[in-house]
Amino acid sequence: MKCLLAVGACYLDTILDVDHYPAEDEKLRASSILKRRGGNCPNTLEILQQLLDTDTDDAGTPTISLALLAVLPSSSSTAYQEIRASFNVSTTDVMAHCICRPDVTEAASSYIIRSRAMDSRTIINYNGLPEMTAAEFAAVADKLGEENMGWCHFECLRHLRQIFSTVKISVEVEKPAREGLQDLAALADVGNGYESPEACLRVQATLVSKATVGAGDTFIAGMLFALTCRAAHWDLDRKLRFANEVAGRKVVQEGFAGLGGCMRYAL
């Protein structure tokens, strides 16, 4: 069974809902607070696992396996245990390739302020974890091997493209103004569904952020499912419609629970 490896940051999110975004030095009471595990790739894997749970082969076996490659705090830390408990799947398998920093006890954190007045979100990140090095990524990729890896979704992909020519690569472009993204996107097989890296970055740069926390991760999960599990059976239009529907269902609910079951009829 081929593996889909997702490479990216894993966060612990704190989400505050407010009537309006506070002015400088203003004291404001939030109407609700939500704490959960976040991060683009972990979110995408959570939804992908739900879809795979409803899409087994005749023997009841998932068609692909999932793995996360992220930098995490010490495996003995409370933050690590929170992240581990957040996956409703075989966490040992999903997190087997994660890199733990033994001297760090705090996970990367996001503080998300959602304004009802503007239907917007403001995100403040903190990450005290040393970044993954190219050598660390290469070691994991080499350990998995080209024969075991069917797809890789992540931000740093030059090693795979050079060494494993048959592995499918997708890249998420969330910060289009960042230097070097055009060269990065050019190495991928799939980049947010656009016909070229230039078109993708040009359109993304014009988009206004709305308070749809997790909808983009859900869309990517839907597309990755369609591209890996329905590659030969669905045309591009159906793949996009499927991914859009999963993302649309996410917009109208809090969290990711039950999204896979809602899409059972479409599989």
Q: What is the pLDDT of residues 150-180, one digit of tens each?
A: 888 875 444 555 556 667 777 665 555 566 5
Side-chain-side CA neighbours of 201 within 13 Å: the count stands at 16
Distance CA 149, CA 166 (A): 9
Mention every residue, 6+ apart, whose C-beta is less than 8 A from residue 56.
62, 63
Determine what percent of the chain is predicted with pLDDT higher than 70: 75
pLDDT of residue 258: 87
Does residue 193 carry a pLDDT above 50? no
Tokens 């006890």, residue located: 105
pLDDT of residue 88: 67
Tell which wins on pLDDT, 208 or 65: 65
Range 173-178 contact pairs with CB under 8 angstroms and sequence separation of 24 or more: 173/200, 173/201, 173/204, 174/40, 174/204, 174/216, 176/200, 176/201, 176/202, 176/204, 176/205, 177/205
For residue 13, what is the DSSP state? E
pLDDT of residue 97: 93
pLDDT of residue 172: 64
Q: Is 11 helix (H, G, I), strand (E, B) or coil?
A: strand
Q: Provide the residue type at 8 as one letter.
A: G
When pLDDT is averaged across residues 13-42 and rounded to a whole number, the result is 94
Query: How many CB atoms are closer than 10 A to CB 108?
Result: 22
Query: Distance between alpha carbon 112 and the CA centroid of its chain, in Å?
Result: 17
pLDDT of residue 57: 57
Distance CA 204, CA 99 (A): 31
Label residue 53 by pLDDT band (50, 70, 90). confident
